[in-house]
Amino acid sequence: MMRTMTLLAAMIVLLPHLAAAHVVRHSSIPQPFWGTWGSGAAQCVPADKQTIVLAAKTYVSDAAQCDVEYVSETPSPKGSTYSASLQCTDSSAASPKKAGMTLIFRSAGDGRISVGRDFDSLVDYRRCAANKPAQK
């Protein structure tokens, strides 16, 4: 029992340090993710509420306009996963206020990305063909 408790205590102390050792912090969203993305071909029309725009220092959706504070890159067997720390303004609020938000995104291959606030809410998006990557 004492051996198990010692092992558990060691894991609690060491694992966060091991996990953090591979995280790389960036000041902006990586360029391959810049552009307008829709959750399907029909969602790439300008007025669609399912379209998002990623640029170096901004994230825009129907619900919010966000400034990127920093982006953490964590390697995984399926490619890097990114976590952006954002300061967002709720576009539907009568008196807009800034609030913090985290956005997770990663390449899903084949011109697709997965984006969401957490791993349980990731949605696949495709780059809108008529749009070049945003230059901001």
pLDDT digits (tens, 9 = 90+) for 88-125: 987 666 666 788 999 999 998 888 999 999 999 999 99
Phi-psi region of 68 (alpha: psi -120 to 50; beta: other; left: phi over 0): beta
Q: Say what the pTM is.
A: 0.73
In this predicted structure, what is the pLDDT of residue 44?
Answer: 78
Burial grade of 54 (CB within 10 A; 0-12, 13-18, 19 or more): buried
Residues near 84 by Cβ (< 8 Å), separated by ≥ 6? 29, 59, 68, 69, 70, 71, 72, 102, 103, 104, 105
Domain range summary for the chain, segments of one domain joined by +: 23-127
What is the spatial distance between Cα 136 and Cα 129, in angstroms, rounded to a whole number? Answer: 19
